[in-house]
Amino acid sequence: MAGMQVFGDNNNPLQGTADANTAKPQGDIGIAGPLAFWIIMLLLGLAFLILFPAGRANASGSTRFILYDIGPYIIDMPRAIIFPLIVALWIGMRTGANTQNIRKAIDVGVINAVYTSVVYAISIFIIYLIAVYSSVELLKSLPTDTFVVYLVIIPVATLLILTPLIGLLRRARSQA
């Protein structure tokens, strides 16, 4: 087939040759997307609690009542379990897809999990301070040990365990 170029053909002198060891990753792993999703959801839940404090005084079918009741669900349980699962899956899948071998997938997964955990811990501390100074009763009534366990330790542990594991499994599946 003269004149047709086959995709992936390395006969082009401008492209050079590539082998499995020197191939560049397909793209940046980037944790900004999942981290922004997580923090925006937390801020949305906090906004519902701050902006609609009189929601309980209204009728049970009103919009203010519904939004005020949604706030604790976003802030409380999903943040501790569901959001870290989503973020770990998101980062782990991209880590596994964009690394060359299993060892590199684990290393990059751990680094991204630690980085995401640090940013999350700083963010949740700032959100907690905003909630306390905004008189949000949900977070004011939390004891310190409950705050640390459910708002920091469980999400961070979920990220630190699942992100490298999902990256490892994704890379292993690609290499099999």
Tens of pLDDT, residues 43-97: 888 887 777 765 455 556 667 677 777 777 777 766 678 889 999 999 999 998 8
Over residues 117-156, the pLDDT tens digits come to 999 999 988 888 887 787 777 666 667 787 788 888 999 9
**Contact present, 49 and 68 (Cβ < 8 Å):** yes
**Contact present, 175 and 102 (Cβ < 8 Å):** yes
pLDDT for 4 beyond 50: no
**Contact present, 146 and 140 (Cβ < 8 Å):** no
d(CA 153, CA 146): 10
Would you say how long the chain is, in residues?
176
**Residues whose CB falls within 8 Å of the CB of residue 1, separated by 6 or more in sequence, listed in order:** none
- Predicted pLDDT of residue 81: 85
d(CA 55, CA 70): 11
pTM score, whole prediction: 0.73
